[in-house]
Amino acid sequence: MDGEELTEQETALYDRQIRVWGADAQRRLSKSHILVCGLKGTVAEFCKNIVLAGVGSVTLVDDRVVTDESLPANFLILPHENHYNGKTLAEVCCDSLKEFNPMVHVAVETGDISTFGIEFFEKFDAVIISCCSLGKKKLINQKCRKLSKRVAFYTVECRGSCGEMFVDLQDYKYSKKKLEETIECQIEYPSFEEAISVPWRALPRRVSKLYFAMRVIEQFEDVEGRNPGETSIADRLGVLKLRRELCETNSLDESQIPDALLERLLTDTREFPPVCAIIGGILGQEVIKAISGKGDPLKNFFFFDAMDGKGLIEDISGPSTRS
């Protein structure tokens, strides 16, 4: 991303944020290209944030047709407009995002992202996916890791009052200021598959209960062939059975994954707008840090639960990539 300098128009438009993180960081942002797949409320918040920040381009992938169920958490879909006529989520969100910042190129890509060749991902600096199956998350992450350049990879999910974000920056180098000195830092990240494969008994004793609960729901959907969010309280017995099996396999006490938490994740499948705003804001901040190379990045999971109002960062890594 060592390209042209900022234009006069860009310098004038982004003057305030240039004062915060500097012209070089803004230049990197303005030359960056972001791929986003899965346009629900949390991702809509993220897209708004990075478009306003002034990235070079955002490419949207989501062929699902807009329905009434799309409206509650996704503010990019205006509720008073009833003329979508079969438009996809990507198309409608694209139109809205263009109005936020005309200097950012926003486009739509159609098709199943899991079928796109590795070369397709080469043109992006960050890939963000949501509403994707377990297998699709692993596959896209693997494709990003096979590229000759480093492509930042993120997954984000929001279920009711709970949310989760995963980050993979591979072998990441960045700088930060300590007093008057600039320090060069390096962090090695595991892939999504490597992270969730770490045995539960090998994790720190106080890992977020939401981490375990999300893995149970994720695996249940995968085994049942469901799309993310296609669960209900009717699945309670099946989920509890899977929890017991996973806890036995991983030598984990079932109390670490409370019934009440699993029931909330099963029943509250729609996104809660305030949670979308929080997680979408943090995701935007992390992508900006990864592109600009400034500031301590998050490693490698972030969890938020509105029931206690806490956000937790957890480093779920094997011995070779643990900080």
CA distance 106 to 56: 9
**Whole-number percent of the chain with pLDDT over 70:** 97
Which amino acid, residue 261?
L
Please state the rounded mean pLDDT for residues 164-169.
98
Tell me the per-residue pLDDT of 260-319, one tens digit each, with 9 for 90 and over. 999 999 988 889 999 999 999 999 999 999 999 888 999 999 999 999 999 999 999 977
Structure tokens at 108: 């739509």
Tell me the per-residue pLDDT of 198-232, one tens digit each, with 9 for 90 and over. 999 999 888 999 999 999 999 999 999 998 988 99
Residue length of the chain: 323
Integer-rounded Cα Rg, in Å, for the chain is 20
Tell me the per-residue pLDDT of 76-110, one tens digit each, with 9 for 90 and over. 988 765 667 789 999 999 999 999 999 999 999 99
Cite the DSSP H helix spans in 225-272: 236-250, 259-267
Please state the rounded mean pLDDT for residues 119-147.
97
CA distance 55 to 73: 24
206 neighbors 253 (Cβ within 8 angstroms): no
The predicted structure's pLDDT at residue 82? 61
Name the pTM for this structure.
Answer: 0.93
Tell me the per-residue pLDDT of 44-62, one tens digit each, with 9 for 90 and over. 999 999 999 999 999 999 9
φ, ψ of residue 213 to 5 degrees: the values are -65, -40
All residues at 6 or more sequence positions from 32 whose CB lies less than 8 Å from its CB, including other chains: 1, 55, 56, 57, 125, 126, 291
CA distance 221 to 218: 5
Among 105-109, 122-126, 183-187, the least confident range: 183-187
Q: How many CB atoms lie within 10 A of CB 69?
A: 9
The predicted structure's pLDDT at residue 175? 83
User: Which residues on neighbouring strands pair with residue 30, listed in sequence order?
Assistant: none
Number of H helices, E strands in the chain: 12, 10
CA distance 235 to 194: 28
The predicted structure's pLDDT at residue 323? 62
- pLDDT of 3 strictly over 60: no
Please state the rounded mean pLDDT for residues 244-249.
96
Where along the chain do its domains lie?
8-194+271-314, 198-267
- pLDDT of 25 strictly over 90: no
Residue with the larger pLDDT of the pair 71 and 2: 71
Q: Which CATH number applies to 8-194+271-314?
A: 3.40.50.720
Tell me the per-residue pLDDT of 150-165, one tens digit each, with 9 for 90 and over. 999 999 999 989 999 9
Structure tokens at 228: 């993310």
Angstrom distances, CA of residue 150 to CA of 68, 125, 145, 153, 265: 38, 7, 7, 9, 33
